[in-house]
Amino acid sequence: MNLDPALSTFVSESRELLREMEAELLACEHGEAGAESINAIFRAAHTIKGSSGLFGLNAIVEFTHVVEGVLDRVRARTLELDNELAALLIECRDHMQAMIDCVAQRGEVDSEQLDADGARLLQRLEAFGGSRRTATPAAPPTAAADSTKPQTQPQPDAWRALTDCWHISVRFGPDVLTNGMDPLSFLRYLTTFGEIAGLQVVDDGMPPFEQFDPEVCWLGYEIGLRTDAGKDRIEAAFEFVRDDCTLRILPPRSQVAEYVALIRDLPEADDRLGELLVRCGTLTRQELNDCLDMQAAQSETTGGAAMLGEVMVREHVVQPAVVEAALRRQREARTETKKADGLLRIDSEKLDRLIDLIGELVTAGAATSIAARVVGGSELNESTLRLSRLVEEVRDQALKLRMVQIGPTFARFKRVVRDVAREVGKQIRLEMSGGETELDKTLIESIVDPLTHLVRNAIDHGVEAPQERLARGKSAEGLLRLNARHDAGSIVIEVQDDGAGLNRERIVRRALERGLIEDASVLSDAQVHALIFEPGFSTAQQVTNLSGRGVGMDVVKRNVAAQRGTIEIESREGVGTLVRIRLPLTLAIIDGFLVRVGRSSFVLPLETVEECVELEAGQRAADDGHSYINLRGSVLPFIRLRELLGVDGARGKRESVVVVRWGGKRAGVVVDELLGELQTVIKPVSRLFSRLQGVSGSTILGSGEVALILDVGGLVERCLAGAEARPPQSRNEEPNAHLVVL
């Protein structure tokens, strides 16, 4: 994938437009479409068509042209945008997306599959009046429009010129030359796909030599062009000066009336123009005379059928220019608002580099603080203090740069929900909240797949079929809720449905079959539900046997865990299911709490630390792997880090308990010494240690020493599991922490 920058901008902008288009089309399908929605859809299609033309992506231009034609009719209210049409347009949008994706990969649209898909869609569009070339002589739009009107028009209007050439009238704006354009290059471009049958330079606008400004463009051209290309192709030739010229294109064998309209509309004298048309070979002398006669007749008539016909023709001819101008204004308005928002597109690589550097800065800052403390001196300490405060602020700001709102990602699920619901024949209402919650961009990207999976599962297996729902006294329409919020240094994303919920018996039966459990009677509901995340649980057989969930849930869990996140499930049979994903706020840098066990340092994420208490002598006597303390009247299970990680050396004289909280559960971690807060850059642990439980990463301390970052979620789980009297896992599997540090 080696695209030139302009093309890759085109691709990314088109994708953005297609996303907008999708959102609006979905709104239309829900019957929430205002005129503004339709305009937005049209605008998106039109812009994509225009830019595709610039890159010579004819497949996209041709397809989009038809779509645009249909949209134009919707906009003009001659066609109603019903569900069926909206659904078809969504498919067309998908096809455009597929073509753009193809361009992104290979730089052009070169797939036969795509061609075939496109042809099929075009055929279906024809039912809505989308024709490949709206301007072909076979079916000129005017003729179609005329046929709906009473036949009051005089016969001559139906006369057609004999020429087989397109006629192009173009007048350039005064600034074309100073803008660096040379009209000659457009003419030369025309010759690449057609033959210029006749060409006349129109210099009538030129002032006398005394007032002649050589840098102003005074010229225009009347061109007769013999070509098989369509109107859009010809228009595209003038794309670069679209805003800066008046362009009129008449197809071959147009109605004489259209030539009359052309002659009238152009600024030059009628006779002179007629002469030019004859010289271009567009009209024969006889045709011109007819034209001029007809025109004279029309000028004399006041009102009446002839006028009506002419007005209609003129309206048709004028329309593209009007539409163009309107579009331009809208586009300008859009750039205005963009400017007002002050948004900037930044290469994400640059941002990553900045974050890396700030990570280094944080480490170096910590080293300086330690050095300053050793050296002493109040001035030095004061300035390092100020420095570290600034570093902290810079870090926060830099991390915020990576933060994006989850709203747009949620919005994507509108489409997923719609498609899946249709597929399985259910009615689903999607509710979203907390779209303004921000999280790290890379995190968002990594969470889309698991979320999609959960949403699909919820609709497919969670929500019941409409009849079943009605039988259970629920509304026929199922509810799916997506919610995001911040919670104690992490992001919580919930997928909730009001479906059938998990069936305990089925899960237990399945788990017994798979040998995941031996006895279900001791398991709480939550523990049973958690079984569906077990790797062995999802099999093909299960999809058919079990109408609950569990399809690939282990994959979802693995993906979430890869981002240092956790996943949990709450379900009540007959009421619904809620899946909760908990993710860390950022990936790169955290505020940590440094502790020491033996000679090794460990870091606990600060936001998980609630408080620190001393481990009393009486409690220390307990010698097994985990135990409890009485924390102000409540039971707090704790775990000894020394034993968990197999740290060498005797216990210190004093030990402390760090009380940590994760996902609403609390546990104590016993350590030798508390060293205080620090900022730390997370470095991933190498793959060798990736299976190591209780450790989520490593970091380099200011002193150059390596410290492991503890996975608090894992620790709490273990601690509680121990408290529920499950035998501790075989200890010798635990690697020695010193191995990692050295």
Partner 1 sequence: MTIYRAGELTARLAAALAEQPQELHLDLHEVSEFDTAGLQILLAARRHMHAAGGVFTAARASECVLDVLELCNLTDLVCGENTSARQ
Nearer to partner 1, 179 or 335 (CB): 179
- The residue from 116, 127, 201, 297 that contacts partner 1 (CB under 8 A) is 201
- As beta bridge partners, residue 659 has 611, 668
d(CA 622, CA 628): 9
Nearer to partner 1, 220 or 713 (CB): 220
| Interface characters, 390-429, with partner 1 (x: CB under 8 A) | ----------------------------------------
Query: Segment near partner 1 (CB under 8 A), from 159-167, 207-215, 363-371, 428-436?
Result: 207-215
The least CB distance from residue 68 to partner 1, in Å, is 32
Report 521-580 residues binding partner 1 (CB under 8 A).
none
Q: Is 282 in the site for partner 1 (CB under 8 A)?
A: no
Q: Is 144 in the site for partner 1 (CB under 8 A)?
A: no
d(CA 563, CA 491): 12
The least CB distance from residue 185 to partner 1, in Å, is 9
Q: Is 300 in the site for partner 1 (CB under 8 A)?
A: no
Q: Is 188 in the site for partner 1 (CB under 8 A)?
A: yes
User: ∠ CA(681), CA(684), CA(689), 5° rounding?
Assistant: 140
Rg (the chain; Cα; Å): 36
Q: Is 215 in the site for partner 1 (CB under 8 A)?
A: yes
d(CA 283, CA 222): 12
d(CA 433, CA 605): 28
Q: Is 307 in the site for partner 1 (CB under 8 A)?
A: no
Q: Is 158 in the site for partner 1 (CB under 8 A)?
A: no
Look-up of token digits 């908990």:
582
- The residue from 116, 144, 206, 307 that contacts partner 1 (CB under 8 A) is 206
Q: How many CB atoms are located within 10 Å of the residue 394 CB?
A: 15
Look-up of token digits 């997506």:
482
Q: Give the torsion sign (CA, 223, 228, 233, 235).
A: positive
- The residue from 50, 198, 584, 694 that contacts partner 1 (CB under 8 A) is 198
d(CA 73, CA 63): 16
DSSP string, 624-681: SSEEEEEETTEEEEEEEHHHHHT--S---S--EEEEEEETTEEEEEEESEEEEEEEEE
Query: Segment near partner 1 (CB under 8 A), from 216-224, 533-541, 542-550, 571-579?
Result: 216-224
Q: What is the DSSP secondary structure assignment for residue 242, as one 8-state letter? A: G
Nearer to partner 1, 219 or 707 (CB): 219
The least CB distance from residue 175 to partner 1, in Å, is 11
Q: How many residues does the chain have?
A: 742
The least CB distance from residue 220 to partner 1, in Å, is 11
Nearer to partner 1, 212 or 373 (CB): 212
The least CB distance from residue 232 to partner 1, in Å, is 24
Query: Segment near partner 1 (CB under 8 A), from 152-160, 212-220, 396-404, 692-700?
Result: 212-220
| Interface characters, 168-187, with partner 1 (x: CB under 8 A) | ---------xx---xxx--x
Query: Segment near partner 1 (CB under 8 A), from 96-104, 137-145, 200-208, 563-571?
Result: 200-208
Q: Is 218 in the site for partner 1 (CB under 8 A)?
A: yes
Nearer to partner 1, 221 or 638 (CB): 221
- As beta bridge partners, residue 697 has 709
Q: Give the torsion sign (CA, 118, 124, 130, 131).
A: positive
The least CB distance from residue 396 to partner 1, in Å, is 53
- The residue from 30, 83, 164, 212 that contacts partner 1 (CB under 8 A) is 212
DSSP string, 567-613: EEEEEETTTEEEEEEEEES-SSEEEEEEEEETTEEEEEEGGGEEEEE
| Interface characters, 220-249, with partner 1 (x: CB under 8 A) | -x----------------------------
Residue 141 burial (CB < 10 Å; 0-12/13-18/19+)?
middle
Closest Cα partner for 457 from 489, 403, 495?
495
- The residue from 214, 342, 425, 515 that contacts partner 1 (CB under 8 A) is 214
Name the strand (E) or helix (H) holding 143: helix 141-148
The least CB distance from residue 167 to partner 1, in Å, is 15
The least CB distance from residue 192 to partner 1, in Å, is 13
Q: Which residues contact 275 (CB under 8 A, 6 or more apart)?
A: 288
Q: Is 208 in the site for partner 1 (CB under 8 A)?
A: yes
d(CA 640, CA 656): 10
Q: Is 217 in the site for partner 1 (CB under 8 A)?
A: yes
Nearer to partner 1, 172 or 662 (CB): 172
Nearer to partner 1, 92 or 187 (CB): 187
Name the strand (E) or helix (H) holding 80: none
Nearer to partner 1, 221 or 662 (CB): 221
Query: Segment near partner 1 (CB under 8 A), from 209-217, 616-624, 667-675, 733-741?
Result: 209-217
| Token pair recorded at residue 247 | 């362009």
The least CB distance from residue 205 to partner 1, in Å, is 11
Q: Which amino acid is at 423?
A: E
Closest Cα partner for 400 from 358, 357, 365, 438?
438
The least CB distance from residue 401 to partner 1, in Å, is 44
Give exposure, 208-232, as e/b (b: 16+ Cβ within 10 Å): eeeeeeeebbbbbbbbbbebebbbb
Helix axes 83-106, 112-126, angle to 10 degrees: 160
The least CB distance from residue 258 to partner 1, in Å, is 24
Nearer to partner 1, 187 or 291 (CB): 187
The least CB distance from residue 96 to partner 1, in Å, is 37
The least CB distance from residue 559 to partner 1, in Å, is 59
Q: Which residues contact 382 (CB under 8 A, 6 or more apart)?
A: none
Nearer to partner 1, 122 or 196 (CB): 196
The site that binds partner 1 (CB under 8 A) totals a number of residues, namely 24
- The residue from 76, 112, 151, 203 that contacts partner 1 (CB under 8 A) is 203
Provide the 3-class DSSP secondary structure of residue 517: coil
- The residue from 200, 496, 503, 559 that contacts partner 1 (CB under 8 A) is 200
Nearer to partner 1, 218 or 689 (CB): 218
Report 313-372 residues binding partner 1 (CB under 8 A).
none
Q: Is 624 in the site for partner 1 (CB under 8 A)?
A: no
Closest Cα partner for 401 from 345, 361, 447, 363?
345
Nearer to partner 1, 196 or 458 (CB): 196
The least CB distance from residue 171 to partner 1, in Å, is 13
Look-up of token digits 């800065």:
361
Nearer to partner 1, 209 or 332 (CB): 209
| Interface characters, 490-519, with partner 1 (x: CB under 8 A) | ------------------------------
Q: How many CB atoms are located within 10 Å of the residue 671 CB?
A: 28
d(CA 538, CA 520): 19
d(CA 150, CA 172): 39
- As beta bridge partners, residue 322 has none
Contact criterion met (CB below 8 Å) for 141 and 135: yes
d(CA 153, CA 259): 17
Q: Which amino acid is at 472?
A: R
- Which stretches of the chain bind partner 1, using CB under 8 A? 177-178, 182-184, 187-188, 191, 196, 198-201, 203, 206, 208-209, 212, 214-215, 217-219, 221
